[in-house]
Structure 1
Amino acid sequence: MAINAEEHVEVADRMSHNVDKGRVKVKRAGRNHAGAKELAGYYSNGKRIQEYICIIIGSCLLAFNTYNVLLNFRLENWKWHVASVFFGIVMSDFASGVVHWLSDSYGSVSMPLFGKAFIRPFREHHIDPTALCRHDFIEANGDNFMLTIPYFSYQAYKFSTQTTEQIQSFVLFESFMLTLGFFVMLTNQIHKWSHTYFGLPRWVTLLQDLHLILPRKHHRVHHVAPHETYFCITTGWLDYPLEMLGFWPAMEGLVESLTGIKPRTDDMKWCNKEDIR
């Protein structure tokens, strides 16, 4: 049976929420959830302007730095450039996991400055996973572009002030950092695609099927409450190895032993707000 656009935005919820694993029971999620409605209302015009500015600046820096890496490419170093690109992708996947884990597990929407601007989208996403599919490119990706601006600015400064010989001494590292930054920029878009169950371009679904970017089925594991695993959302390559190593529970145990703070307490507070019917 064909699925229409309105039904699509609930399909991930039906697959991943309203479950009881013996550890935590979560009220049914979705766009009508009380917490989801409240969190969506915190998205401000000021935040929107910040996202526009970050995307414009980040895109210009990306173009400038890519041009300079290509300008200084030497054919005899192609294997090293391939390696730098590969490790850049792997590191971006790990970085996405760390940021995702920290933002899911700690902090509060009530935190000054960061709460409503940066913690809010993570709380909303667990209650209403397909809200991300309703966000346009600016809202979905603005914060990730912002993260790349400090280093990309420094990178542009280096390319602008160093001689060709000097650039050759660090161009492989900058190739790695450029790849890392590029995939950081794309992470939320890739994440959005992992929640989109119809209408994706064929090239996107092909990349998902080849597991070159985060596949839809793979990411569903994270959306089983209490959202305590499979945090990497760029390619998801590191999710299984980190799960086998018990990496995230070990990190949470370390944080709790040092600070006494338990993970995901704020997240569960929002998840358990009463539904609006």
Structure 2
Amino acid sequence: MSVKSDEEILANSMYEDDPNGNSAPTTTDDQEVEQPMVHKATTQTGTPITSPRWGPQNKGAQELASLYSPGKRAQEIFCVYACLGLMALNLILIVKHMRWERINVAFVSALCGIITADFASGLVHWAADTWGSVDLPLIGKNFLRPFREHHLDPTSITRHDFIETNGDNFMVGIPILGYLAHYFYVKSPYEIQQHFGWISYVFLCSIFVAMTNQIHKWSHTYWGLPKWVQLLQSCHIILPRKHHRIHHVAPHETYFCITTGWLNWPLERIRFWCTLEIIIEHFTGLKPRDDDMKWAKKLT
């Protein structure tokens, strides 16, 4: 059972079948209902004005998008090509050393790797959504900025190309896949067979970590998805669109895992994220999602 009702999700999240229009939904008898997607304010003379709460017309989203720099782009290009090369190299080495008698071990280990990747995606997503500021040196504009932009303009990710979408996650995969390739070259064939389960775990975990933001992008894409992607979503092998929409209910405090989403429900049941937030706030005095709320209130 969802932690939020369908009504709450619809009332408080962006209507992605009309991603950039911020248009109001209608009731069954075509009467317009209250619009939750705009901020209402007044000018100095008291004249009411309306500013989009979500989408590319939101002022905060526009400012955040403008902070994407050429240096950041260069880093992403390098990381994508380096990681793709390491993926191909490790796949060749795994196929070379594959033995049928190790298939069961490899399958179970790979499944554990996917679960680990899902948890890692939730942990990073929660940390970047909840703590820190865009004004922080180095990590603010380079790594926290996309998370703030995404909450104000969720479908911006669908307008990012492959490089911008995946650069940061592919960067995470480089040292892990680099170590794995090194392991193949320094270990004997016997040692590789003895540790083939561990190798399968590391490889699949790395692949799913690297592909997390592409999977995330697909969860916001409502038109033109390949049939095989839709099949994986419908089987909940990767993050489904309806499942991820729960996270985009303001104030974005739940369902942080975005690789498969398998761990979202159990983590919510044990109140994992909110317990961490209570502990951190108690010892540091920091308020969760304080910076995220600041950008959400930016109208001009």
TM-score (norm 1): 0.90
Who is 2:20 aligned against? 10
Aligned equivalents of 1:45, 1:52: Cα separation in 2: 11
Aligned residues: 265
Bigger Cα Rg: 2
Cα distance, 1:188–1:60 mapped onto 2, change above 3 Å: same
Of 150, 155, 166 in structure 2, the residue corresponding to residue 141 of structure 1 is: 166
Who is 1:23 aligned against? none
What is the letter of the counterpart of residue 210 of structure 2? M
SS in 1 for 2:298: coil
Contact 1:36 1:124 in 2 (8 A): yes
SS in 1 for 2:57: coil
CA shift for structure 1 position 258 = 2.2
1:125-274 matches, within 5 Å, as 125-274=150-299
Cα distance, 1:63–1:87 mapped onto 2, change above 3 Å: same
Cα distance, 1:17–1:44 mapped onto 2, change above 3 Å: farther
What is the letter of the counterpart of residue 68 of structure 1? L
Matched, 1:46 2:65: no
Contact 2:17 2:222 in 1 (8 A): no
Aligned equivalents of 1:141, 1:11: Cα separation in 2: 26
Matched, 1:115 2:140: yes
SS in 2 for 1:237: coil
Who is 1:3 aligned against? none
SS in 2 for 1:229: coil
Larger helix proportion, structure 1 or 2? Answer: 1
Cα distance, 1:131–1:214 mapped onto 2, change above 3 Å: same
Who is 2:5 aligned against? none
Who is 2:83 aligned against? 58
Aligned equivalents of 1:260, 1:145: Cα separation in 2: 34
Contact 1:17 1:224 in 2 (8 A): no
1:20-99 matches, within 5 Å, as 28-99=53-124
SS in 1 for 2:211: helix
Aligned-residue CA RMSD (Å): 2.2
Aligned equivalents of 1:13, 1:165: Cα separation in 2: 62
What is the letter of the counterpart of residue 10 of structure 1? N
Cα distance, 1:46–1:52 mapped onto 2, change above 3 Å: same
Cα distance, 1:217–1:156 mapped onto 2, change above 3 Å: same
Unaligned runs of 5+ in 2: 1-15, 26-34, 40-50
SS in 2 for 1:10: coil
Contact 2:166 2:213 in 1 (8 A): yes
SS in 2 for 1:107: coil
Q: Give the fraction of aligned pairs with identical amino acids, expressed as a percent.
A: 52
CA shift for structure 1 position 8 = 4.8
CA shift for structure 1 position 255 = 1.2
TM-score (norm 2): 0.84
Aligned equivalents of 1:14, 1:44: Cα separation in 2: 34
Cα distance, 1:198–1:165 mapped onto 2, change above 3 Å: same
CA shift for structure 1 position 228 = 0.2
Bigger drift between 197-206 and 140-149 goes to 197-206
CA shift for structure 1 position 19 = 8.8
Contact 1:96 1:234 in 2 (8 A): yes
What is the letter of the counterpart of residue 37 of structure 2? N
Runs ≥4 residues deviating over 4 A: 11-17
